[in-house]
Amino acid sequence: MKNFFIRVISSIVYVFFIILGIWYSYTFFIVFSIMIFLCLHEFYGLINAKQKIDIHYLHCLGGVLLFIVTYFYTSGVFPYSHIFLLYLLYIVFVFVSELYKKHQDSIIHATFILFGQCYVALPISLLNTVAFINNFYYRELLLALFIFIWINDASAYIIGTNFGKHQLSKHISPKKSWEGFVGGLIFTLLASSLFFTYYFSKTSLYQKIPLYHWIGMGIVIVVFSTWGDLIESLLKRTWKIKDSGLAIPGHGGFLDRFDSLFFAVYALLFYIKWCTVFENGHIIVLKKLFLPLF
């Protein structure tokens, strides 16, 4: 019971900071730059226990650099794709620096470094492409993404703990169940319907998106966030650890809290880019192209 209350308090604090980070474009920039650094610091710290990676903090800053250049590009601060050359220079540095190290596992080192960039920095940086539409910041889709993930995680945990009998992936995460997955999906779809009715349908930017698209987004977010959770469980099983860290009491580390996001953002980005098109600051649904999906 004590652990449950610690988990609840930690969740409240975590949710507060994430919503604060989403609410304004400048807080989004600050909070998620910090989050990338902390997540990469944790990730490379886990690898350091098995495989020494030099200039650890520099690679954490490399991930922050990707977020910054993506933010500048999508927000219109620097609307030229040339800005991504800065991050490409960092990638070149990763490989070139290995030429001057004495160990024989240079390519393995570079692979681990770039894996962290792809696994952590890339999905968080892509949140910029969800948040900015025609260089203007809109928090609604980000808010929906995180709320759907939280509702799915919480309901899947509660239902799976109390009613779970059929394991979702026995060899990776024995505690996760199909009952929890279905419960998380149902509650997430209910949440997407409620948000459409009481919030998104009254927001001018999103009022042209029909309910079935919000439900569609809820489905892909649940599926991909579950995969993200399982993949992080696979990483921890590979590294033979229980939690990625101890930064968040009752939850583990930062990676434990963001694992669902790492893959859910790809699903949401794919869905909104293929199922909708932004025109003059409004969303127009491509019904003819995607009618067979619904």
Q: Domain check: are 99 and 132 in the same one? A: yes
Q: Domain check: are 247 and 192 in the same one? A: yes
Q: Domain check: are 214 and 236 in the same one? A: yes
CB 227 within 8 A of CB 263: yes
pLDDT digits (tens, 9 = 90+) for 13-29: 888 889 988 999 999 99
Domain span holding position 128: 25-137
pTM of the model: 0.84
- Residue 99 CB burial class (10 angstroms; 0-12, 13-18, ≥19): exposed
Evaluate the CA torsion angle 189, 193, 194, 198 in order and state its sign: positive
pLDDT digits (tens, 9 = 90+) for 216-243: 888 999 999 999 888 888 887 777 776 6
CB 216 within 8 A of CB 188: no
What percent of the chain stands above pLDDT 90?
28
CB 274 within 8 A of CB 290: yes
Q: Domain check: are 120 and 4 in the same one? A: no
* Distance from the Cα of residue 278 to its chain's centroid: 23
DSSP conformation letters of 230-249: HHHHHHHHHHT-S-S-SSBT
Q: Domain check: are 15 and 49 in the same one? A: no
Region 193-206 average pLDDT: 67
Q: Give the model's confidence band at 294: pLDDT under 50 very low, under 70 low, under 90 confident, else very high.
A: very low
Instruction: Note the pLDDT of residue 224.
Output: 93
Instruction: Note the pLDDT of residue 207.
Output: 54
Residues ≥6 apart with Cβ < 8 Å to 27: 20, 21
User: How many structural domains compose the chain?
Assistant: 2
